[in-house]
Structure 1
């Protein structure tokens, strides 16, 4: 069920970057409006969104996702 939700959240997105070693599945999606990181680990899906005037949102959101997923171990 978590995989289906993860896949559904990614439908219609562009600018995807796979993030290896972050979970069972992990992807960063960037657009002019902001950055999202989606991580699936077992039956948990974590989604972090950043938008607005943020310096290097891709790096910030990715490092936050790594810290959160790391705390789940």
Structure 2
């Protein structure tokens, strides 16, 4: 990857873990989909709302949606 001169040369060095992967599209008519989920826990008795921060919960939810609605999502 090319570096830009003078960019990123000052400040504190940090370790960065990045979650990405290369995508190749062979057909201009193909579609790419991105899903982002924010889960909230809502207490019906007190009406308190708080985010669900357990790691992997959104992934498990998407896996269940995919499993349940596979035939609808298969296109």
**Greater RCO (Cα-Cα under 8 Å, separation 6 or more):** 1
**More strand as a share of residues:** 1
Query: Normalising to structure 2: TM-score of the pair?
Result: 0.28
Q: Give 1 or 2 for the bigger CA radius of gyration.
A: 2
Query: Normalising to structure 1: TM-score of the pair?
Result: 0.28
**More helix as a share of residues:** 1
